[in-house]
Amino acid sequence: MVGDSLSAAYGMRVEQGWVALLQDRLKAKGYGQRVVNASASGETTGGALARLPRALERHRPQVVILELGGNDGLRGLPIADVRGNFEQLIGLSQKAGAKVLLIGMRIPPNYGPAYTQSFHALYGELAARHKLPLVPFFLDGIALDDSLMQEDGLHPNAAAQPKLLDQVWPKLTPLLPR
C-alpha cells in the first residue's frame, strides 16, 4: 500500500484505518497475504517515487495499491509532472512483478475547471493505458458527508474507514492469488 494520509490513518489510531481493516478482512476471508502499509501523511507522487524502489526490493509485493495524487493536486503541481511520476510508479511496480491497483482522487473545484477536470481524468487515462483496475474516486459517498469526515473536511474519520475499504475490495480481490 503506497499512499498518503488517507491510507496512513491520519487523525486516528492506525488499527482504525482502512489499510489495517484490509489486513483483517484478508485474514477473515482466508487470504494469506500480509499488507505492508508504506503510506505517509503528506506524501506526493514524487515522494513515493523516491521511496518505492527500496520498498519493492524489501517486500517483493504481489500487488501494489497506489493511493496518491491528492497532495500533488492540492499543491497545484503540473498534471504532466504528476502523470510522469505515476507512469514511473506503475512501471517500477510492474517491473518488480507486482500487479497494480490505482485509486483515483478528486480535488476541490477552486483550482479551476481545466485543472480539476484534467487532474481527475488522469487516473482513467493511466488505468486505460496500463490496463489497471481503477477505483474512480476513493472518497465517493464520503467526501460530502460531514458525519464521515474529520473536522478539517479533508480526511475521513474512523466511521468512514470501512466504507473506504469497501471502495477498494471489489477491485483488489481479482488481483489476489489464494
Active-site position among 5, 7, 93, 118: 5
Alpha-carbon distance of 64 to 102, in angstroms, equals: 9
Alpha-carbon distance of 6 to 10, in angstroms, equals: 6
Is 7 an active-site residue? no
Give the chain's radius of gyration (CA, Å).
Answer: 15
Is 5 an active-site residue? yes
Contact 42, 62 (CB under 8 A): no
Is 93 an active-site residue? no
Residue 50 Cα distances to 24, 73, 89, 128, 131, angstroms: 29, 18, 9, 25, 24
Active-site position among 39, 118, 152, 166: 152
CA geometry: angle 72, 164, 177, nearest 5 deg = 100
Q: How close are the terminal C-alpha atoms of the chain, in Å?
A: 19
Active-site position among 39, 72, 118, 155: 155
78 SS3 class: coil
Contact 138, 67 (CB under 8 A): yes
List, by residue number, the catalytic residues: 5, 152, 155
